[in-house]
Structure 1
Amino acid sequence: MCEALVARGAGDIRIERRAVKEPAPHEAVVAVGYGGICGSDLHYWSHGAVGESVLRAPMVLGHEVAGHVLSAAADGSGPAEGTAVAVHPASPCGGCDYCAAGRASLCPRTSYLGSAARVPHTDGALAQRFVVTAGRLLPLPDTVPVRKGALAEPASVAWHAVSRAGEVKGKRVLVVGAGPIGALVVAVLRRAGAGEIVVTDLHERPVRIAGLLGATTGFTGPPPPGLDAEVAIESSGSPSGVATAVAGLRRGGHLVLLGLPPKPEQPFPAGLVATRELTIAGSFRFHTEMAEVIAALGDGSLDVEPVISHEFPLREAETAFAVAADPSASGKVLLRC
C-alpha cells in the first residue's frame, strides 16, 4: 500500500491509500521523489475536466515525476535498482502512421499518465510508489538531482514548442504568457541562441522569473506597438494572448500556438494572419525530446531552477494546488512524495 493523490471530481482531491499493483516482467517499481503540479492537474481539481476529458471515476493525478527505481524490471529491461530516473508520461501505440513517421506526440491512441481522455482513465504518478513500463524510465545524470528531474517533462513540452518555431538563433522572439511552461520556453530559447527574448504576462512575478531564465525584456501587459518579432510563442491559451502574439509579429512572422484554451473554439484574428502572411504551427506535448532535455540539464546548458517557487509534502496537496492556481504568487509548485 502507498499514499496517492486522487481526484474524484471538481474541488475534490484526496490523499488515499492504494495498493501497488504487482509489476509485469517488463515493468519497474519507482519510488517517486518529486512531482510537479501541471495546468491539467489544476483543471481536474477546479473543474473536474480538462476540455473534453471529463472525470468519470477516481483517478490518480500527475505526470511530471522523478524518483528512484525501487525494483527493476524482471526481464532485465530498463534501469537498474537504485537508478535516479524521470518518467516519460506517454505511451503511443507504436504502429500508426504518426508513430512510423516519428511524430508519436500526434498518435491518436496514445495514453498519458493522469489523463481522463480514455475510459478507464489512465492513473497518474503522484504517489509514493508507481509501477511503469521500464522503457519509459530515463536515467538522470549524477549532476541532476531528482527534484530538478521532475521538471524534465514540462521542459520537454517547451523544447518541442521551440522546435516547432524553426531556427531561432539570433532572432527576436516574443513569448506570451510566462507561467511555468512559458518560463521554460524562455530557458530553451536562451539555450538555442535567440537574439532577443521578449516576454509578456499579466503578473509581475512570472515576468521576473522569465528574466532570471534569459528574457531580455519583460512587460506586464501587451508589449508596445512596433515590436516586429520574427517568432511568437503563445503559451497562455487565451484569445487575448493569441491577439497579443499576432500583433507583436512582423509581416511574414511565425506563430507557435502552445497554450491550450479552455474550449477548442476561440476567437481568432484570422484577417491579420492572412493579410500579414503569418505562418502558424501548433505544438502538443513531445516525444523523443525528453532525452535531449535531460542531457541539457545534465551538462548545465539548460537552466530551470528559477521556475520552482514552492515545495510541499504530498499530504499538503490541497494547499499546494491552491498556491499553484495563483499565477501572481507562484511558479512551478512541486509535491514531495
Structure 2
Amino acid sequence: MTRLAIGVDLGGTQVRAALVEEGGAIVARAETDTDAMAGPQAVLAQIEALAHGLAGTVDPARIVGVGVSTPGPVDTLTGVASDIPTLAGFAGFPLLAELRKRFGQPVSLENDGIAAAIGEWQFGAGQSLDHIVYVTVSTGIGGGVISDKRVVRGRKGMAGHVGHMVLEPCGAACPCGGLGCFEAYASGTALARRGRAAAAAHPGSFSGMACEAVDGRAIFAADRAGDPVAVRLVDEQAEWLGRGFVNLLHVYSPDIIVMGGGIAQEFDRLRPGIEAYIAQHAMPAFRDVPVLRAALGANSGLVGSAALAFLDRSQGK
C-alpha cells in the first residue's frame, strides 16, 4: 500500500493542497482563494477544510502526515510567524502549534522557498544531486538551498531569503524595506514596473497599450512580436537574473541552480542572457554550473511540502 502525505502550500493569493505519493506523484488536489485579510484562524480553517476534504477520499491509514509551506519570515524551529506581509494578523502567531491542534497526523512547517527546493531535490530537477540552489522568481524572489545532501535552514529556519541580497547599494526600494535587493530588480513586480515606465517613455511601444496595463505577460508578448522596447526589457531581466545567480554560485557552489516561479515560464527566452552573464562574470570554476527550469513547475512547493512529512517520518521526527 503506497503511503501518502498531504502537502499544503499557503500563499497570499491561494491556499493549495494535494495528496502526494511517496514517489512525488500528485494523486488529488484542491485549492481556494486565500482569505488573506481575515486573520490566522480563518486561514487555518481553509487549510483544514482542504486537507480533510482530500483525506476523506482515501484510507486514512495511508496518510503519514501533513507538510505546510508558508511565506516568511517564519521561525520554523519554534513554529512562530515573525511577520507575513501578505497575510494579516500573523505577526507573533504560533502557526505550527495551531496547525497541530487541527490535525490527527504529524504536521511539519517550512518556508515556501525551502519547501520548493526540497521538492525539486527529491522529485524534480535536482534528483540525485548533493548541492542545489532553488530560486523562485515571481511577484517576489525567494529560494532554498540543499548543500551536502542537507537542507540549509540556518538560524530560526529562515535561511534562503536570496531575494534580499543587495545587488545595487542605495538602489531601488524593496518591499522588505531595504534598497537594491535582488527582488527589487529581478522579480516579476520589478519587471512590470520597468515596463510601465518604458511604456510611458515610448508611447508607441506595446502596441499602444495603456501604461498601467503593462505587466510581465504583456512585456514577453511584445518581445515575441519584436517590439524593441520589450526586447530590451527582457534582455535586462535576463541580465539581472544572471547577476543574482552569479552571487549564488559563488556563495553556495551548487551542482545546479533551479529557477521556478511565474517568470520561469519564459525560461527559454531568458536562458541565453542568463548564461551569457554567468560566462562573463562568474569565476571560471563556476561557469559550467547549469541553470535549469524547475521540473515540477508550479508544484515544486506543493510536492516539497508533502515531502516534509516523508522526510520527518524517515528521520524519526
TM over 0.5: no
TM-score (norm 1): 0.25
TM-score (norm 2): 0.27
Larger fraction in strand: 1
Name which structure has the greater RCO, CA cutoff 8 Å, separation 6+. Answer: 2
